[in-house]
Structure 1
Amino acid sequence: MPPCFVSPYSAGAEYLGKAGNDSFMMGSFASTFVEGAIIVGGGPSGLAAAACLKMKGVPSLIIEKSDGIGSLWKYKAYDRLHLHIPKQFCELPYYPFPEEYPLYPNRKQFVDYLENYFQHFDMRAKFETKVKTASYDPRLSCWKVDTQPSGADSECVTEYRARWLIVASGENAEPYTPDLSGLRDFKGPVLHSSTYKTGADYEGQRVLVVGCGNSGMEIALDLANFRAKPSLVVRSAVHILPREIFGTSTFAVAMRMMKSFPLWFTDMLLVWYTWAMLGDTTSYGFKRPTDGPMTIKCKQGKTPILDVGTFAKIKSGAIKVCPGVEYLAPHGAHFANRQFAEFDAIVLATGYRSNVPQWLKDDSGFFSAEGLPKNPSHGTWKAERGLYIAGLGRKGILGATFDAKNIAEDISEAYSSESHRILVSPLQHR
């Protein structure tokens, strides 16, 4: 047992009740019992869960490893980032965006919105606190969450316990770096998109952008706008849609169409309109998937590329499209078409991964090895023994809102009874 380990039976205990000030000490250490739910993650999903619980009268405690909420948007987003879909589809429950916000809020506006959301609902949180492990304790019928200070080389472990645990650490918890052959041999700078800020740092340089999702496409555009020489790796088949149809959000149009037409018909119209507006994208190195864009969104949770001007730069030649990378050399890359090109820098727009397997002891086998719900057809927001999941269903912020409302409804029914007080009784009677 580490020298600073805090246990409910070793040195003392503290109970965070409705007022947060009920405690009892038996020495120099304290174990904290949280009335209501512990929420791991202070991003949009965790905030939505906390707000929905509060609206139902259920307290909660957010545990977040960074120094505040919305760290992905605050610290790991490039400067020109805006929401790719309209703000009404990105609102968190019970708190709309300010009317003066544009249709597609920028990074700072979204961070401000999250911070105001946190303050509006007067949420409780422990920041700069990393979850080491979370496991279910069958003796007390509760979840035990062991934490450590983030960024500190400390063996001190603080323990929290609660009847309910909500996993809201996000699908984008950890940057993902692919195993590219020769990556270590490349002599120029290599960075993940999470640390990329602006194309101004690369003026005149030949930059290879690996990954053609919405982030990769927009980073390539940003580089081109700052007179860099970007090349974009397009390995997988993807759908490119114009962000707007006749001045209206393509995503909003698709959502309305799906309510009135079959999915295949919606896809057909979207693909036809894309061809009319952008031309034949396949002639520029983009393979079109067999399934339509909204079919893929519904089946796999993958959002089609919503073009904000990148494709025009590709057509003009300002951005080059490359096939998959075979391997990297000290000063360039060899591609699947057996061609070689020299580069000064590489940006890996290769996405993120869930970190749930690193800290959650999932005895019920609810999560896959990738840290996502294993059987989405069985539901993605509720597991067993008081374990809930928010925002890991590959449905974006809309899905997180859906999860949060379901979680709050489910927990509030149990919370209305006195069953949550069982957490205190083993220590009250010692």
Structure 2
Amino acid sequence: MRRMHEEAEVIVVGAGPSGLSVGACLRSRGVSFEILERSSDVGASWRNHYERLHLHTVQRFSALPGMPWPAGTPTYPSRAQMVAYLEAYARGFDLNPRFGEDVRAARRVDSGFVLRTEANEYRSRALVVATGYNRVPNIPAWPGEESFGGPILHSSRYKNGEPYRGKRVLVVGAGNSGAEIALDLWEHGARPALSVRGPVHVIPRDLTGVPSQMSSLFLFSRLPSKVADAVSLFVLDRALGDLRPYGFTRPEIGPISQVVLKKRVPLIDVGTLELVKQGQIDVMKDVRSFSPGEVHFADGATRPFDAVVLATGYRTGIAEYFEDAEGWLDERGYPRYFGEPVPGAPGLFFVGYRNPLTGALHDIAIEAQRIAEHLAGEKR
């Protein structure tokens, strides 16, 4: 296939919240750009998430640059409301991504960057990578899983619990997706269990009547990590009690330090914990193997299940298409730099790869404006 060769001042890869935010900020500063998106719509990841999903952050502090949420939007917008907001945002800022352009290879050249999609080659002086940390599903493998007999699907393919009504379903992974999928399964009449693979901090979405994001914005993000850890654990002990009898153990590192140092967010509970305490959702240890109709766990337990949902996270996949990107990534494949020029790579920026205390969307808005200001300053 003959490739078309095109040039742009700035290429933005990804038309989710991060890429759209950068596009809007560049537009307002008169910097020309192209947005490349591998899917056929803006906000593809949000469209593909399970139906029950809501933001865990307050809409007031989760708006993208230049466009507040519509009046009447609930405190925690739904997945469908997020998709509608992204569509309105793209229209409002006249953002017209080039859809169906999946970047297969990207590399630096002396004068900027070269990107290849299936049909085209793009050259630009600057590159903003906004493909998100949900680009590639992380799907582990276990001995005997081919003999299980029931469906084993990643959470990226889970839509709702209706197909599992009356069935025994194991959700592997006690992060935010896993906990909410287990809750969704129970609400649809399934019999869910949650495999907790390691220590995890649990934080209510609303702590003592206040959204946890608000506490992070106005308290924890301003304190030294060790002090913030001590304060948060003191509050959590009184709000939740000892969770060890229910199968949840805490990491040795505190919840605030875990976010800052390990880039791992706590489980933000939206109702799953109460069902665990009531015995409606069982908590199991890590999976060790499968056999026909059964799952075997690290503590020696064996339980029958009809289906398994893998809430085992994602990879950014950046190193899989970006040549020599390893030097800019940490051991998990996440960029080391956010919303600022990458040292040694003039014109390269990453946006939307953090899960900070203050909320991902809140910080995406800040990063996007910072990137646009830098690129506009270079243009002058």
Length-normalised TM-score, structure 1 = 0.83
Q: Residue 131 of structure 1: SS of its match in structure 2?
A: coil
Q: Does the 8 Å contact 2:153/2:308 carry over to 1?
A: yes
Aligned-residue offset at 1:272: 2.7
Q: Does the 8 Å contact 2:155/2:310 carry over to 1?
A: yes
Task: Please tell me whether residue 68 in structure 1 is matched to residue 41 in structure 2.
Answer: yes
Match in the other structure for 1:382: 341
Q: Residue 161 of structure 1: SS of its match in structure 2?
A: strand
Equivalent positions of 1:233-382 (< 5 A) are: 233-258=195-220, 261-362=223-324, 365-368=327-330, 370-373=332-335, 376=336, 381-382=340-341
Q: Does the 8 Å contact 1:300/1:394 carry over to 2?
A: no
Distance 1:94 1:380 in 2: 18
Task: Please tell me whether residue 51 in structure 1 is matched to residue 24 in structure 2.
Answer: yes
Distance 2:47 2:84 in 1: 9
Distance 1:265 1:414 in 2: 40
Moved more, 334-343 or 287-296: 287-296
Task: Please tell me whether residue 32 in structure 1 is matched to residue 2 in structure 2.
Answer: no
Q: Residue 117 of structure 1: SS of its match in structure 2?
A: helix
Please tell me the residue identity of whatever aligns with 1:60.
Answer: F
Distance 1:363 1:305 in 2: 30
Distance 1:280 1:370 in 2: 31
Match in the other structure for 1:410: 374
Please tell me the residue identity of whatever aligns with 1:387.
Answer: L
Distance 1:301 1:366 in 2: 16
Q: Residue 22 of structure 2: SS of its match in structure 1?
A: helix
Distance 2:146 2:331 in 1: 26
Q: Does the 8 Å contact 1:47/1:118 carry over to 2?
A: yes
Moved more, 335-344 or 298-307: 298-307
Aligned-residue offset at 1:400: 2.2
Q: 1:311 to 1:394 in 2, by over 3 A?
A: closer
Match in the other structure for 2:100: 128
Match in the other structure for 2:3: 5
Distance 2:82 2:196 in 1: 29
Distance 1:145 1:261 in 2: 42
Distance 1:143 1:200 in 2: 46
Aligned-residue offset at 1:391: 1.3
Among 157, 170, 175, the residue aligned to 1:208 = 170
Among 187, 205, 210, the residue aligned to 1:225 = 187
Distance 1:108 1:207 in 2: 25
Q: Does the 8 Å contact 1:243/1:250 carry over to 2?
A: yes
Aligned-residue offset at 1:382: 2.2
Match in the other structure for 1:152: none
Please tell me the residue identity of whatever aligns with 1:240.
Answer: V
How large is the RMSD of aligned CA atoms in angstroms?
1.8
Distance 2:325 2:338 in 1: 18
Moved more, 211-220 or 385-394: 385-394
Q: Residue 350 of structure 1: SS of its match in structure 2?
A: coil
Distance 2:270 2:135 in 1: 26
Q: Does the 8 Å contact 2:113/2:127 carry over to 1?
A: yes
Aligned-residue offset at 1:212: 0.2
Distance 2:370 2:205 in 1: 31
Task: Please tell me whether residue 91 in structure 1 is matched to residue 52 in structure 2.
Answer: no
Q: Does the 8 Å contact 2:39/2:101 carry over to 1?
A: yes
Distance 1:367 1:243 in 2: 30
Please tell me the residue identity of whatever aligns with 1:184.
Answer: E
Aligned-residue offset at 1:367: 2.9
Aligned-residue offset at 1:407: 1.2
Distance 1:287 1:311 in 2: 13
Aligned-residue offset at 1:380: 6.4
Q: Does the 8 Å contact 1:357/1:369 carry over to 2?
A: no
- Structure 2: gaps of 5 or more residues: none
Moved more, 358-367 or 277-286: 358-367
Please tell me the residue identity of whatever aligns with 2:305.
Answer: F
Q: Residue 130 of structure 1: SS of its match in structure 2?
A: coil
Aligned-residue offset at 1:124: 2.9
Match in the other structure for 1:143: 113
Task: Please tell me whether residue 392 in structure 1 is matched to residue 353 in structure 2.
Answer: yes
User: 1:345-404 CA deviation, whole Å, 9 max, x = no partner?
Assistant: 00000111112112111368323564322xx3x666422132111112443223322321
Q: 1:283 to 1:48 in 2, by over 3 A?
A: same
Q: Residue 365 of structure 1: SS of its match in structure 2?
A: helix
Please tell me the residue identity of whatever aligns with 1:400.
Answer: I
Distance 2:222 2:329 in 1: 34
- Structure 1: gaps of 5 or more residues: 7-30, 149-156, 417-430
Q: 1:363 to 1:103 in 2, by over 3 A?
A: closer
Please tell me the residue identity of whatever aligns with 2:7.
Answer: F
Aligned-residue offset at 1:319: 0.3
Q: Does the 8 Å contact 2:148/2:293 carry over to 1?
A: yes
Task: Please tell me whether residue 110 in structure 1 is matched to residue 82 in structure 2.
Answer: yes
User: 1:207-256 CA deviation, whole Å, 9 max, x = no partner?
Assistant: 01000001100111111112211110011111111111232202212321
Moved more, 355-364 or 336-345: 355-364
Length-normalised TM-score, structure 2 = 0.94
Distance 2:325 2:228 in 1: 41
Please tell me the residue identity of whatever aligns with 2:15.
Answer: G
Aligned-residue offset at 1:123: 1.3
Sequence identity (%): 38
